[in-house]
Structure 1
Amino acid sequence: MSANPITMIPIGVVSSPRVDLSDGNWGSVESLITIDSPGLWHEALLGLDTFSHIEVIYHLHRVPLEEIERGARHPRGRADWPNVGILAQRAKARPNLIGLARCQRLSVDGRALRVRGLDAVDGSPVLDIKPYLAEFGPIGEVRPPLWSHEVMKDYYRE
């Protein structure tokens, strides 16, 4: 099966104090998302200020193409954690370099959104934004593997 290429035009860009691709300590990071797409009207953000949290889909543009993982690896290169497929972890070096984050919406001012906890580095192209609705959360009990708790313990530390 061959897939047709998909073309996406970013709707905005992230301004963040974080420029490094390191993991951890994203909890207190405040970023600004500027919606700069001429294809979106100002009204596209209408009502977003009534939601406390949003989901941001962005391009992991700073990951070198030669680092993209297409098989399995130990999360964060730690041999003491299991070797798992790239689709069984949230690593940045993903096949399509797409990031997804839930973050706190702090403000909406015109075409600018201020957020906290967005794990996108400065200059990241924003592909889409959706309000976070608990009703779209998981159905049933969430049971992640034990190693994932250690991976995430400092990720959103402030």
Structure 2
Amino acid sequence: MTATFTVVPVAHVVGGRVEPTDDYWGGTRSVIRIDPERFTEESVVGLDAFSHLEVVFQFHLTDPADLPPETRHPRGNPDWPAGGSFAHRNMRRVNRLGVSRCRLVAVDGLDLHVEALDAVDGTPVLDIKPWFGAMGPQGEVREPAWPSEMLADYYTDPCA
């Protein structure tokens, strides 16, 4: 099971935040700039019909050695149960991959203007997909209470 593969970014995040933070991503505007050396504007034809995107990116500022093998409490809060690496969604991941769903504000050539993308300026974008509501979770969604408590301000606009 140790096959490797190479992934080349299709785009980079331009603007928005310069440092990752735990909360207050609401109102954050940035641009996903698609690589013009590899793609033409035909690659985004039809994308403007969608309100949201699903973006796969690399947590490029994360130290690859910072992956504790032991369970840990979310955000270090002992009131929330400790969980293993795959029970978290933060940047401390084996392959340093992130997935975000953000609002597509505008398509301008190969620049995708987005809001509430929780990736910082310079982030390598590995894939961009339109969000299909029909591809969302099927059936009843189950989760413990702590993620809602922890993320209560995640998409709050700090300027509002």
Q: Could you tell me how far 1:77 is from its partner in structure 2? A: 1.2
Is 1:8 the counterpart of 2:14 in the alignment?
A: no
Matched-pair contact (CA < 8 Å) for 1:10–1:37: no
* Residue aligned with 1:22, SS: coil
Q: Which 5+ residue runs of structure 2 have no aligned equivalent?
A: none
* Residue aligned with 1:65, SS: coil
CA RMSD, Structure 1 to Structure 2 (Å): 1.2
Listed one character per residue, the Cα deviations across residues 35-92 of structure 1 (whole Å, up to 9, x for unaligned) are 0153333211110000000101101000112212444211111112110112112111
Taking the aligned partners of 2:138 and 2:26, their CA distance within structure 1 comes to 26
Q: Which residue of 1 aligns with 2:81?
A: 82
- After TM superposition, the runs of 4+ consecutive aligned structure 1 residues lying more than 3 A away are none
> Match of 1:134, as an amino acid?
G
- TM-score normalised per structure 1: 0.94
Superposition map of 1:74-113 within 5 A: 74-113=73-112
* Residue aligned with 2:57, SS: strand
Select between 66-75 and 99-108 the one with higher mean Cα deviation: 66-75
Q: Which residue of 1 aligns with 2:44?
A: 45
Q: Could you tell me how far 1:15 is from its partner in structure 2? A: 1.2
- TM-score normalised per structure 2: 0.93
Listed one character per residue, the Cα deviations across residues 100-152 of structure 1 (whole Å, up to 9, x for unaligned) are 00000000010000000100011000000000011000011111101111111
Q: Could you tell me how far 1:6 is from its partner in structure 2? A: 1.3
Taking the aligned partners of 2:118 and 2:16, their CA distance within structure 1 comes to 11
Q: Could you tell me how far 1:18 is from its partner in structure 2? A: 0.9
Q: Which 5+ residue runs of structure 1 have no aligned equivalent?
A: none
Matched-pair contact (CA < 8 Å) for 2:36–2:110: no
Is 1:137 the counterpart of 2:130 in the alignment?
A: no
Matched-pair contact (CA < 8 Å) for 2:104–2:115: yes
Q: Which residue of 1 aligns with 2:123?
A: 124
Q: Could you tell me how far 1:23 is from its partner in structure 2? A: 0.7
Q: How many residue pairs are counted as aligned between the two chains? A: 157
Q: Which residue of 2 aligns with 1:152?
A: 151
Q: Could you tell me how far 1:27 is from its partner in structure 2? A: 1.2
